[in-house]
Amino acid sequence: MTQRSKAPIVIGVVVVVLLIGVPLVAWLLRGVIATSIARSQLEERGIACDSRFSVSPSATLGEATVGPTRCTREGGVLEAIELMSDFTVELDGTEPSSIRGDSLRIVLRSANVRGGDGWAEALARINLEQRMAAVVKGLSELSRLDLPPVRAGRVELVRGSDQLGHAENLTLTPEAGDRLGLAFTRAHFAAGPMGVGQLDLTGVTGDATPATVTLRGQASARAGVAIVFSVERAGPFTVQATGLDTASPSFHLDGNL
């Protein structure tokens, strides 16, 4: 066989190797590639994740798993989001269409929210007004992150080194414009020495934008030590916050607390 007659065979083999080999290598390295792309996209939004951050696409590339990691955000009250368990990301092509997992932690910076002091005499009774102001401001900043639908079984809320409380069965749903719908079945907050101030919220729904947050549901508040001395209030509530994208936000609480 002449050299000229061998050339088409060699070219054909090279083409076959490229057609099969390159996709195979890309598939085998899909985790490395997906992690790199996801990290770059997050960094463009001012979010930096620690060295544990890893994206593991499924064999069919229809979903991916993100393991425990801590992702910090520049500026604002919202300091970090920590995944405490594996989270599953449903994929639409290369874009996430939903995120779900068991446990995450939202970390708020310890600085007080301007306009938060004295925003509701009811919460002042149990020393929770500034804590609630920080949570509401954090929700407004979540709406800036362009999230897909998110479901988390348990969410811990931390402010600086203090445990604020936790929420159960949280759902976040992007809506028209920059509005983020939210709901959770229950949240519990405590404040003061030995947790003498207690606040429970149930059946909560609402929405958040960078400028406003509205929450509504049922609330139960207690201040004092049971049996020795305590004051309890319960009933429906509505929280409305405006101007959250300014230096002087306004908070208003309607409820028998």
Specify the pLDDT at position 22: 41
Helix axis angle, 30-44 to 3-28, nearest 10°? 60
**pLDDT value at position 187?**
93
CA geometry: angle at 69 spanning 64 and 70, to 5°? 135
* Res 193: pLDDT: 59
Residue 69 pLDDT: 94
Q: 117: how many CB neighbours lie within 10 A of its CB?
A: 12
In the prediction, which pLDDT does 13 show?
Answer: 45
pLDDT of the residue at 27:
38
Report the candidate in 249, 248, 175 with the shortest Cα–Cα distance to residue 209: 175
Successive 10-residue mean pLDDT values, the chain, 257 residues: 52 46 41 76 87 82 87 91 93 84 93 65 64 88 91 93 90 92 93 70 96 94 61 84 89 77
Q: Tell me if 95 sits within 8 A of 85, measured CB to CB.
A: no
Give the pLDDT confidence score for residue 206 in this predicted structure: 96
Q: How far apart are CA 105 and CA 86, in angstroms?
A: 13
Q: Confirm if 100 and 150 have CB atoms less than 8 A apart.
A: yes
- Widest CA span in the chain: 103
